[in-house]
Structure 1
Amino acid sequence: MNEKDYTSLELHTPASLSMFPKAFWGLLGAAWSFIVYFFRKNTRKLIAHQTVRYEVMPLTPISRLRLGQLKKKVLVLDLDETLIHSRHDSGGLLRPAVKPDTPPDFVLKVVIERHPVKFFVHKRPHVDFFLSVVSQWYELVVFTASMEIYGSAVCDRLDKNRGTFKRRYYRQHCKVDTGSFTKDLSFVHNDLSSILILDNSPGAYKGFPENAVPIKSWFADPFDTSLLNVLPMLDAIRFCNDVRNVLQRNKIQHMQW
């Protein structure tokens, strides 16, 4: 076969064969993306179920008697950057702190001002275990500066029909102070000696610093243990008469878990 024959063969090669490498690499890229996504999602699940735990011990008769003589305390919980973090598909509102390719724990679809918005929600490590424990110790209340249509949907997914959150408060229940939303704890409970708030934003509880348990903001760290770290303190404080005395004495308001 001479050079002319080779040229003729190339001219008559089917186009589908010349496109084969491109299709192959496209398929390989899609498969790799799926493997990476699957690995990241299951790695997060594995980390969330790591053996680091706070072991809840049965109460002694004396502790049970002491606890029975006290009012049950109210623990107010913030949502965003405290229990969860979310990003959404509304263009400029996307938060750069979260990697867009991080698999969410669940996706919410809500309509805000007639516009459909999809939220990709990431649960803080150990949040399910945390809620299962503190719900045995406290009356749990959610107080978020987020809109109710979003906050309610997040609460429903965290609650899983267990009745974990006894009450819920949203943006309309906040006060506006110098352009920011603040949370009035006296609106939640009239006895300030029996209420404390776990929140990542000092501005949210600036009117009640003596009732606050600060926690650092969470965005994406899969190894975060802040919710576990705060459990021993929450376990102990339910036995006190006035949460403010304990928090001030230990300067809890100047710490971040």
Structure 2
Amino acid sequence: MAIAITIPQSVGSTVHYQQHPRSEIIQYQTVRYDILPLSPLSLVRINQMKRKILVLDLDETLIHSHHDGVLKPTVRPGTPPDFMLKVLVDRHPIRFFVHKRPHVDFFLEVASQWYELVIFTASMEIYGAAVADKLDNNKKILNRRYYRQHCTLELGSYVKDLAAIHSDLSSIVILDNSPSAYRGHPDNAIPIKSWFSDPGDTALLNLLPMLDALRFTSDVRSVLSRNLHQHRLW
């Protein structure tokens, strides 16, 4: 599959071979993004636009994790985590086994060139900060972070107030698998299906062309308000 979008350098994902539970060998093909220079008109347009903010959820959006003591982990037994965290919760050490959504590193690399990235998770800070550090990997692209204490508890769900990030909501996009998290700002949201363990998932890749296009809009809500949050998930 080849999708052409504009990025400063040519990069691509890796071909993965996975063993199916029924002993079938499944090949996931390389996804390539070819370089296309911006036209003079597009260059003028993008230079007139303010840099926008992309707010990113963690669990089931960028990663999935489970911890010691889970009776029925959602990840197939024997699947190794991408990294492990040891976190003290109420003075008790807990190990989290974290799996990265396919293509998340590539997604963050590209999106960080287009947007200011902000992590906003309903998880506790001690856990969310550790996960964000691993995803950032010293690239300094995930410096702004918001956690559970920055959410509002409404009807049993943690709601994320985008106005706490920036007063100008015309320039903020939130990517979150939980519609209740952005119930106050549905016109700023891009829905994404929850991810747990599917190694063939391409949801993050599928979003890149749309995120590229939103950079050129003066108000992201003019696009995202068209009931996008009620349609199919990416």
**Between Structure 1 and Structure 2, how many residues are aligned?**
211
Query: Which of 49, 60, 66 is equivalent to 2:45?
Result: 66
The structure with the largest helix share of the pair is 1
User: Distance between the aligned counterparts of 1:102 and 1:243, measured in 2?
Assistant: 38
Query: Which of 214, 219, 228 is equivalent to 1:252?
Result: 228
Aligned sequence identity (%): 66
Query: Which of 113, 120, 129 is equivalent to 1:136?
Result: 113
User: Distance between the aligned counterparts of 1:153 and 1:134, measured in 2?
Assistant: 21
User: Distance between the aligned counterparts of 1:136 and 1:49, measured in 2?
Assistant: 26
User: Distance between the aligned counterparts of 1:65 and 1:48, measured in 2?
Assistant: 42
Matched letter for residue 219 of structure 1 = F
Correspondence for 1:12:
none
User: Distance between the aligned counterparts of 2:229 and 2:76, measured in 1?
Assistant: 31
**Contact 2:171–2:219 (CA under 8 A) maintained in structure 1:** yes
Query: Which of 23, 26, 31 is equivalent to 1:52?
Result: 31
Structure 1: tracts of 5 or more residues without a match? 1-41
User: Distance between the aligned counterparts of 1:134 and 1:48, measured in 2?
Assistant: 27
Query: Which of 216, 219, 225 is equivalent to 1:242?
Result: 219
User: Distance between the aligned counterparts of 1:169 and 1:48, measured in 2?
Assistant: 38
Across the aligned residues of Structure 1 and Structure 2, the Cα RMSD in angstroms comes to 1.8
**Contact 2:86–2:94 (CA under 8 A) maintained in structure 1:** yes
**Superposition pairs of residues 1-257 of structure 1, within 5 angstroms:** 43=17, 50-89=29-68, 91=69, 93=70, 96-249=73-226, 251-254=227-230, 255-257=232-234
Correspondence for 1:23:
none
TM-score of the pair, normalised by structure 2: 0.85
Distance 1:232 1:56, change over 3 A: farther
**Contact 2:17–2:28 (CA under 8 A) maintained in structure 1:** no
User: Distance between the aligned counterparts of 1:48 and 1:119, measured in 2?
Assistant: 29
User: Distance between the aligned counterparts of 1:84 and 1:198, measured in 2?
Assistant: 13
Q: Which runs of 4+ in 1 moved over 6 A?
A: none
SS of structure 1 residue aligned to 2:196? coil
Q: CA deviation at 1:133?
A: 0.4
TM-score of the pair, normalised by structure 1: 0.78
Q: CA deviation at 1:60?
A: 2.2
User: Distance between the aligned counterparts of 2:43 and 2:71, measured in 1?
Assistant: 48
Which protein shows a greater Rg?
Answer: 1
The structure with the largest strand share of the pair is 2
User: Distance between the aligned counterparts of 2:214 and 2:228, measured in 1?
Assistant: 12
